Structure 1
């Protein structure tokens, strides 16, 4: 019995899961989260934390929502918590300090990610992954922008390797205290969930469910090391397509699940359908794709790397949130984004809201997404054999 327990523990908590298993598990939790309350997102929580910084400095007049009672913030807290539990159970949490030049890249790439996510009204998760899952045309357009941005970034990274070689960096190994940190984190998550579910506030139970479900997403993403940067970058660098295949399967499963949720009227059809089908999604995707590739982590990938102690990604996340907060604040001040008389969010020049079933029906939309994913899969498989898209160093 002891050996069986060790084997199960090692399989669930220590060994890396395959990206495919991670993609399937994430799709499961994402569908549950949307049924429970709302779609998954990353940048809204980071922006909420940054809003408090600028409010504290006196730059913003109105106080933002409290981070513990704002759903976007709670989603990120849960995600970080789950990823931290995964990292500590596997003894993978340590403070990793990169070379100095990496901190400069972290600042610049974080700012670019914040600007790109503001234009697209979402990072690679809210603007692409969840937008496609929610049957929004802007998600497909942002995917195109991300692919373009990643290609430019790979060329830059090759130039950097040749002209700006860097070395150094060090690690503060904390593996010995990881088991203790894991126990404290698990107890803390249970206590926080109990506090939310036992709260007398209207949103208490709702946010408690959000916390637990996103902890599951964070755990699964860290254990499988699922990364959309990797899925879009490796076809250009090594030709390897394992991560891309996992993301494709995850997108297909989640799109079908959320289509059923919306068709059944459980969630509003326009959820995560933003007025960015146009320049917002395309240009925002290009800028964000470049930034996330140089950063070494996308919206979600940056956060699970934060949870395992990657200090470069701590800096990326900070400047990602700060720049996104400032740009979105300017959008509001200059009415680039505003709410019209019908209560709809509209944009002057970012684009328009396009819910694909309004034009193709639900069956036609799922067919379109399936064809798109099929073509993506064929291309990455073909490239893995031929290296047709691989850029030479």
Structure 2
């Protein structure tokens, strides 16, 4: 091999190590997620997760004849495509970092995950979205329902953590039994080939997005690319909404809390420019969840996500890296949300969980931006203060 070729190979390996073998700083993930979220909104719709999961549940129940409604195929539904892209983006990232493996928990954890997914499905139905659509994108879209869910998520995370601490005290995990002497487990180490498979997955995703354009589904192809991007970013930065709401009570660690607050500050400005310029409707993602739907839904969802170990987006990227417990969460989350939302739609309950409040209608865009940024900055400061003194940490 020539010296030039050796140099190129070495630089490729160095670049790969820098991007895919190290965890990105939380603030980098925060800024990239805000940027991708703004791009999604500009491209056609805000970032959401639960709508895609619900589409999968709806598709199954319609196929079984339980629903009498028409739905889009998961392969052309924008929300579904974003979720699929997120899973495969995280899958590719895990492979590129040689981190993918099937992590199978004890059976009791699988059961807890399934029950937690049910809670998340109910909570997301009441709040008209999970931690992404009901909280992150709702606040970015200037919906007061997003702040109602934020309060519910904080309270739910506290209760969920209290349950986990009680569970660990009453039912401590059993130590694994060592293997008998003389037995050997032969396991093929496929980590060296994982990066090559990861590249293949990313290339396949990019080609699939262009194929959508070839069939006149250009927007769908764009959402697939954006979903892939956000999956890679979330996995590489370990961006976690659960940790943002749980860790201040558990360890005092504020990194994820401050990352979410920072990401929202950027997204609020981006969404505001798009709406103020008239590029998207002012009431987009301003749902009638203020105050009951957002608060109660956020509380139920927050409790479930802490027990599950993954929120809406966190469930998807952890599914992509091979965490089997989150596979169970995904199944029960999608099916429960579909069933509860179908019931709420058919009974009219969906219209009775609160009001749709668009903040600029009350205090103009300028003061809305100032108020929301002030709240997020206070959240950021409170998280940092708590980290210094463990003020809210549960003993």
User: What's the TM-score bracket when you normalise by the shorter of the two chains?
Assistant: over 0.9
Bigger Cα Rg: 2
Q: Secondary structure at the match of 2:75?
A: helix
Question: CA deviation digits over 1:89-132, x for unaligned, max 9?
Answer: 00111111001110110111000000000000000000000000
Q: Deviation of residue 174 (structure 1)?
A: 5.0
Find 1:358's aligned residue among 358, 361, 368.
Answer: 361
What does 1:212-223 align with in structure 2 at a 5 Å threshold?
212-223=225-236
CA distance in 1, matches of 2:231, 2:340: 27
Structure 1 contact 81–185 (Cα < 8 Å) conserved: yes
Match of 1:192 in 2: 208
Which ranges in structure 1 are unaligned for 5 or more consecutive residues?
338-346
Whether 1:175 and 2:206 are equivalent positions in the alignment is no
CA distance in 2, matches of 1:172, 1:240: 37
Which ranges in structure 2 are unaligned for 5 or more consecutive residues?
1-6, 178-186
Q: Deviation of residue 173 (structure 1)?
A: 6.6
Match of 1:111 in 2: 118
CA distance in 2, matches of 1:169, 1:300: 31
Q: Deviation of residue 161 (structure 1)?
A: 0.7
CA distance in 2, matches of 1:16, 1:385: 24
Q: Secondary structure at the match of 2:215?
A: coil
CA distance in 2, matches of 1:167, 1:280: 39
Decide whether aligned partners of structure 1 residues 85 and 192 sit closer, same or farther in structure 2, where only a CA change above 3 A counts. same
Structure 1 contact 149–286 (Cα < 8 Å) conserved: yes
Please identify, of 157-166 and 307-316, the stretch whose mean Cα deviation from structure 2 is larger: 157-166
Q: Deviation of residue 159 (structure 1)?
A: 0.3
Whether 1:315 and 2:332 are equivalent positions in the alignment is no
Whether 1:133 and 2:130 are equivalent positions in the alignment is no
Q: Secondary structure at the match of 1:276?
A: strand
Q: Deviation of residue 187 (structure 1)?
A: 2.5
Match of 2:181 in 1: none
CA distance in 1, matches of 2:368, 2:98: 43
CA distance in 2, matches of 1:172, 1:229: 34
CA distance in 2, matches of 1:113, 1:172: 37
Match of 2:79 in 1: 72
Structure 1 contact 197–205 (Cα < 8 Å) conserved: yes
Q: Secondary structure at the match of 2:103?
A: strand
Find 2:340's aligned residue among 319, 322, 327.
Answer: 327
Structure 2 contact 148–290 (Cα < 8 Å) conserved: yes
Q: CA RMSD in A?
A: 1.6
Whether 1:259 and 2:272 are equivalent positions in the alignment is yes
Structure 1 contact 98–168 (Cα < 8 Å) conserved: no
TM-score (norm 1): 0.93
Find 2:375's aligned residue among 332, 353, 372.
Answer: 372
What does 1:1-393 align with in structure 2 at a 5 Å threshold?
1-2=7-8, 3-167=10-174, 174-200=190-216, 204-337=217-350, 347-348=351-352, 350-392=353-395
TM-score (norm 2): 0.93
CA distance in 2, matches of 1:107, 1:66: 25
Q: Deviation of residue 6 (structure 1)?
A: 2.3
Structure 1 contact 134–272 (Cα < 8 Å) conserved: yes
Decide whether aligned partners of structure 1 residues 298 and 69 sit closer, same or farther in structure 2, where only a CA change above 3 A counts. same
CA distance in 2, matches of 1:245, 1:235: 11
CA distance in 2, matches of 1:183, 1:220: 15
Structure 1 contact 99–169 (Cα < 8 Å) conserved: no
